[in-house]
Amino acid sequence: MKIHEKYINRCIQLAQNGLGTTYPNPLVGSVLTYKNSIIGEGWHQKAGGPHAEVNAIRAVKDQSLLKKATIYVSLEPCSHYGKTPPCSDLIIASGIKKVVIGIVDPFAKVKGKGIKKLLDAGCEVSVGILEDQCRELNKRFFTFHEKKRPYIILKWASTKNNFIAPLSKKERAPVWITNKYSRQLVHKWRSEEQAILVGTNTAVADNPKLNTRLWEGSNPVRILLDQNLRTPKDSALFDRSIKTIVITSQASRDSFTKNEIGKNELILEAIDFNKEIAPQIVEVLYTHELQSVIIEGGGKTLQTFIDSGLWDEARIFTGEAMFPEGVKAPEFNGKLAGEHNLLSDKLKIYIND
């Protein structure tokens, strides 16, 4: 069993290379071994491209070894036709008889069917190796398919005296609490998630772009929560450079649609603001097939998700800045999962336990 763990762990390492580029597909790594040596490995790099098993099999220089090899894969091989053929079929056609799988795929079109196909073909299949680690690797994918919602990350920065923003300022621009290294890390995070959400007050006060300009990577879908469409029409969020979803009231949606919304990457979705807001937002994001979202503010929006219990992870910076008065940081309870220093900034990671 230890040897299985060794190679599944390698699969996990390989799979992490695809973070941010495989949506809506999961992160998957695969390794082929012969006589306790790796003869091929690969990972899923981009949706629509070859899956991890395909890349690993192609990497084997001596294809005659496949019939004697063991294939390791962090997630159950697919069994259906999507943009690519089933990986389980390729494994069988390659003559590979030993298959070791980290965890069963939660996607309804797979979910045990790949394993059954392998078993029916006479393969020796082992399942459930480093299962917790494999689930953590694809926490976004599992949350989306099992809970029917995106994986929700809360993020904010607070001053030493626990404010996340000043009460007032002269211009529509962010007031930075953290240093440039923390800000770059946040842009890296944005490139790893499918969506990013802010509320009206943040959009009005800071005029954020919500892109990845400080990091190489894809821009997340921008989500704006704005009940009465108070955000100025010349705001960066309305520049149509990135797909943007505005969640508003039905009345506001109807009035705005008469003018210009609904074209060029700008979409309006209506919810009932007289009911609990967070579950409705989550439903909208699920409908748009967004597997993860970073909630970046402001305080009221963050607290809405906290009070609803709809969050999975919180990433909280504390900078050196001090405000004489301001907007208080959200109040929440979570399990501390990690602490880091970025020069003078402190970063704490919490999970909703």
Residue 190 is assigned to a ligand binding site = yes
Angstrom CA distances, 323 to 156, 157, 164, stand at 16, 13, 9
Residue 70 is assigned to a ligand binding site = no
CA separation for the pair 235, 172 (Å, rounded): 10
Residue 285 is assigned to a ligand binding site = no
Residue 225 is assigned to a ligand binding site = no
Q: How many helices (H) and strands (E) does the chain have?
A: 11, 16
Are residues 164 and 328 in contact, defined by beta-carbon separation less than 8 angstroms? yes
CA separation for the pair 315, 350 (Å, rounded): 7
The Cβ of residue 248 has, within 10 Å, a number of other Cβ atoms equal to 26
Residue 202 is assigned to a ligand binding site = yes
CA separation for the pair 214, 159 (Å, rounded): 22
Which of 41, 53, 192, 313 does the annotation list as catalytic? 53
Residue 265 is assigned to a ligand binding site = no
With CA atoms as reference, report the closest residue to 192 among 155, 245, 244: 155
Please name the residue that has the structure tokens 């990690």: 338
Are residues 54 and 83 in contact, defined by beta-carbon separation less than 8 angstroms? no
Question: Is 53 marked active-site?
Answer: yes
Signed CA dihedral, 151, 156, 160, 165: sign only: negative
Residue 157 is assigned to a ligand binding site = yes
Residue 51 is assigned to a ligand binding site = yes
Active site (catalytic) residues: 53
Residue ranges of the annotated binding site for Zn(2+) are 51, 78, 87
Known binding residues for substrate: 190, 206, 210, 213, 296
Binding residues for NADP(+): 157, 176, 202
Q: Which residues are annotated as a binding site?
A: 51, 78, 87, 157, 176, 190, 202, 206, 210, 213, 296
